[in-house]
A and B are shown apart, each in its own frame.
Chain A
C-alpha cells in the first residue's frame, strides 16, 4: 500500500532551509551510507558548501554484529578533513530505532572531537529504542512496525517507497 507520494525535491529543500536557518559557523556535512549519503549529496549541492562531503559506513560499529554478522557490502568511511572543533551535521535517510545514529556517533568520535553534532533526516518515523532525536526533519511519517521506508536511487533520482516487511506478503 503506497503512502502518499512525497515530493523529494521539496522535502530536501525543506531540510536545506532548516540547516541554513541554524546558521552554524563552517558546518561539515556527513552522510551515512547508503541513503544518507545520497540525501547529503543533494543537500551539499543546494547549500553550495565548498568543503567536501564526509561519508560514514557504520557497519563496524553496529550493535548487532555478534547476532547478524558483517554486512558483506561494507563501504569505506571517508572523512576528508580533520573533524576536531568542527560543527557536524549528520545526515541519514530514515530515523527509526536510533541505533544507526548511535553507531555513527561512536564512529565520528574515533576520528576526533567535534564541537557539536546535529542530526538531519529525510524521514522521521516512530519506533525509537534509544534517546536520540533529529533537529532537522524533512518529513514525519507515522509508519507501522511492519512497514519500511526504503530510499532508492536511479539515474540520480531519489525515490522513497513504503514497503511491507511481512514475510508472506
Chain B
C-alpha cells in the first residue's frame, strides 16, 4: 500500500465515519451549572443499581449557550459482585446521554477472578482482574458526537446482568457529563511519508509527537510496528516519562531484501492515540569497492605472479651460470 492510497482511504473513512444516530428523549426537571451536569447529592439508594432496579436516569436542561464544542462524560461507580456469581458469567454497565453511547464497562468471571475491562478516550484502555468483593471504576470518555443538545438531556446508567454477576452498582455523585472546549485529539505525530534505504545499510526513521497540552501531562510511549517484510529494527518502542508539548526520537532499521515495506508508528500518551505510516523503499545494495574476498584474491594473485616471476628469474640465472 502506498501512502497516498492510505490517505485516500483514510479520508474516505473520515467522511463516512459520520453516521446517523437519531434518538429522541422526553423532558424532565432541570439542575446543575452551565458547564457540568452531575448526579450530585442524592440518597444512596436512589443512585444504586441492582437486579431489581437496573436503571438509573437523571435529566438536565442544557441551554443553547451551554452547548460547547465538546462534552466529556464520567461514570464513577463501585461495583459489588454477587456472592453466588456463576463461574462463566457476563455483565455490562453502560451509560448513555440521550441514548447515545457514553460508557461501556464489561465484567466477566474467569478462573482467576472477575475481569473488568473498558476503553475510554480519557481513561484509556483498562483491564483489571480482581478477586475482591467489589471494585471501583472511574471511566471517562468523549461520548458520541452530538449526544448533548439544547433542551432536556437524559443521562442514563443501566446494569445488564442476566447471569447474576453483580449484587449492586453504586453510582458516584461525580458521574455525569461536562462541557469542554478541549478536543479529543491531544496528540499528533509527524513522520516522513517515505524513506529510501539500501539492502544491508541502516536507515533512520525519525518521529515527532506534538501535544496540545490542554490536559494533564501523561507518560508517552511511541511504538513502531512492522507490517510484514524483511525489516529489522533496533527496538520496537520508546518510553518518555512525560509528553510535554513535543517529543522527538528515531528508530534505526535495516532491510534484508529490496522492496517497498510499511512501518506503522503509534504514539500513546494516555489520551487519544495518534498513529502514522511510513513506506520504506529498499533498493538493492550498491557496489562500494572490491570487498574483502576480492582484496584477498587479488593479493594472492599478485603473490603467485611474484613467485612465478622470481622463480623464473632464478632458473634463468642458474642456466646462465
State yes or no: do A and B come from one complex: no
* Chain B residues proximal to chain A, CB less than 8 Å: none
